[in-house]
Amino acid sequence: MIRTQISLSPTEYAAAKREAARLGISLAELLRRSLRSVVPPQDGPQWMRYAGMVSSGSARASESVDDIVYGHKD
């Protein structure tokens, strides 16, 4: 690992510490996870950057994806 230093406002620091405690992880791990959610790994295909960003709200969405993408079949 590479050690780095960042500056946070007192409010940001307190909120991050509370969230880390709630999750039962260190502040460093919370920040690593947060960074990973914004900057995905570069070893995968570029389209994977957007995977999981859209939610239809329907538990059956996978059954109608062709209709959504290609239109209704006659």
Torsion (CA) 23, 46, 50, 18 in degrees, nearest 10: 20
Query: Which has the higher per-residue pLDDT, 32 or 70?
Result: 32
Q: In angstroms, rounded to a whole number, what is the distance separating the alpha carbons of residues 73 and 24?
A: 50
pLDDT of residue 51: 63
By three-state DSSP, how is residue 73 classified? coil
Query: Which has the higher per-residue pLDDT, 18 or 38?
Result: 18
Give how far Cα 38 sits from Cα of 6, 18, 35, 48, Å: 17, 21, 5, 13
Q: In angstroms, rounded to a whole number, what is the distance separating the alpha carbons of residues 4 and 2?
A: 6
Q: Is a pLDDT exceeding 90 seen at residue 14?
A: yes
Residue 54: pLDDT band by 50, 70, 90 thresholds?
low
